[in-house]
Amino acid sequence: MTGRIHDGSNGDVAADMYNKYKDDIKMMKSMGLDAYRFSISWSRILPRGRVSLGVNKQGIDYYNDLINTVIANDMKPFVTLFHFDLPHSFATRVRWLLKQRRGFFREYAELCFREFGDRVKYWMTLNEPWSYAYNGYVSYEFPPGLDPQINSLPASIVHSPPPVASQYELSRPHHHIEQHHQLLNHIEQQHQLLNAVPNSIINNQRVNNIGTTIYKLYSEPDPPRDAHAAASNLIYYSGSKRKRDPAKDAYTVGRNLLLAHALAVHSYRTKFQERQKGQIGIALNTFWCEPHMKDDANDKEAGKRAMDFTLGWFLEPVLTGQYPKTMRDCVPSGNLAAFSDGEAKMLKGSIDFLGLNYYTALYAANDPNPSHKQGYKEDQRLHLYLYMREDYHKRHLVYLLKAMKDKQVPANVKGYFVWSWCDNFEWAVGYTVRFGLMYVDYENHQKRYPKASAIWFAKFLGSKKLLRAN
């Protein structure tokens, strides 16, 4: 979203995989990789969201060539159908709040099964639905990113003209504006806006919560360019007339995502699977939670709650047809709507395999004074603390193998995907972090250079070919 990225960047070009995929896939093969996981963009093949509104043949051709290139290089394609992007006509503030999206997703999934299923044998319906629901409707860091406090402001404020709107910056400090100028405050107009905006918003400086902060800017700008840029950030919030309920929005989105998944799986199993001989699953994300005080019974329970509110929220329904008991006990039934008998039956067992994305671990501590407010954060009744792990791949794979060889409960692990192949545009943090095996030189036509981790991985996989920069 414009103005929401920490470094002021965008993903228009990013790592340019769109144009470099053939060379990238050759390098993957040279490393000894035998599978490549990628996502299909709903909007690329259905720009208006539905088959009846037109299929983009060029988009179909692109993915056909990508899939064929992967297979020609002795790798298996693992394909994700939804990785947060929606067709523009769907990309309103309600997004997955509408149950109609479920049927639209099934229609899109069936098109993919028909076009690519003769070669794609591993499908994932959704990537990290927890991240989508949480970051879009709890932390407001991902689209639609609409803070309900700001959404509730008078229309005269959110529709303020640029001279008024430009005095305020929403979300994190926008570095591209800060580094150039700050904006001029016109005192009379400032008071008009301040009188209408709750102090809880003006004073909130928790910059980790995208969309919950309005910063007052004091320095003189160079109008009109900077004023227009800041005004655009405020205007983003205008025009929403829907009465929202932030305490339940994330749960509503999660429910619709789960049922969209179930519909797509049902279509695949009844119309395509027998002929195409493939498998279908889902890619969930989680973090492991350790009790903050290892001998504290309340912290141990907090750790279990944290797991239920992240992994369990989406895993238990696709296994059992029900939400975790912890969530049913903690969340008001009006917010976490139960599945009907038919929905539960369709959800239960709706995966052939599970993709599990995980990156680190957290400490969980019980909240002795839980808030009386309702909402995803408050419902968990806990606090989470982060710790980091170094030497990630080597140490992690050692313990993964140990889990697979466990004599009592061996982990049935079939594969391991590194996040990520190359440095990328990482959502709200832009290009400020680099996770790739390949270094991407964004200033030199996205040229790739193997990092030490890529060299190590090639040796680990037993590749005999030298890894060279593209």
Secondary structure of 260-287 in HEC code, one letter for each residue: HHHHHHHHHHHHHHHHHCCEEEEEEEEE
Residue 329, number of CB atoms within 10 A of its CB: 10
User: Which tokens go with 60?
Assistant: 């179909």
Q: What is the pLDDT of residue 64?
A: 99
Identify residue 20 by its one-letter amino acid code: K
The pLDDT tens digits of the residues spanning 55-112 come to 999 999 999 999 999 999 999 999 999 999 999 888 765 578 888 899 999 999 999 9
Q: What confidence score (pLDDT) does residue 229 get? A: 38
CB 14 within 8 A of CB 407: no
Residues 6+ apart with CB under 8 A from 41: 59, 85
Q: What is the pTM of this model?
A: 0.77
DSSP 116-142: HTTT--EEEEEE-HHHHHHHHHTS--S
Q: What is the pLDDT of residue 320?
A: 99
> Which tokens in the block code for residue 295?
């001998």
pLDDT of 144 reads 78
> Is 128 one of the annotated active-site residues of the chain?
yes
- Where would I find the H helices in 166-245? 175-178, 187-194, 199-202, 225-235
Low-confidence stretches of the chain (pLDDT beneath 50): 150-243, 385-390, 464, 466-470
Note the pLDDT of residue 272. Answer: 99
Tokens 């957290």 -> residue: 362
**Catalytic residue chosen out of the listed positions 107, 110, 115, 128:** 128
pLDDT for 378: 63
In CATH, what class is 34-144+245-388? alpha beta
Burial string for 178-197 (b: 16+ CB within 10 Å, else e) reads eeebbbbbeeebeeebeeeb
Q: Which residue ranges does the chain devote to CATH 3.20.20.80?
A: 34-144+245-388
pLDDT of res. 77: 99
pLDDT, tens digit, for every residue of 140-169?
888 877 655 544 443 333 333 334 334 433
Helices (H), 38-78: 42-45, 57-72
Return the DSSP state at 428.
G
- The SS3 call for residue 251 is helix
Question: Which residue's entry shows tokens 């599978």?
Answer: 35
Query: Six-digit token pair at 289?
Result: 């939670």
- The pair of structure tokens assigned to 101 is 């999206």
Per annotation, catalytic residue among 188, 274, 390, 443: 390
- DSSP-derived pairing of the beta strands 168-170 and 214-216: antiparallel
Q: What is the pLDDT of residue 93?
A: 52
Q: How far is CA 164 from CA 39, 168, 225, 234, 421, in A?
A: 41, 8, 14, 10, 45
The tokens 């912890």 sit on which residue?
326
How many angstroms separate the Cα of 298 from the Cα of each of 54, 83, 327, 369? 55, 36, 17, 12
Q: Is the dihedral of CA 18, 20, 25, 27 positive or negative?
A: negative
What is the tally of helices (H) and strands (E) in the chain?
A: 21, 10
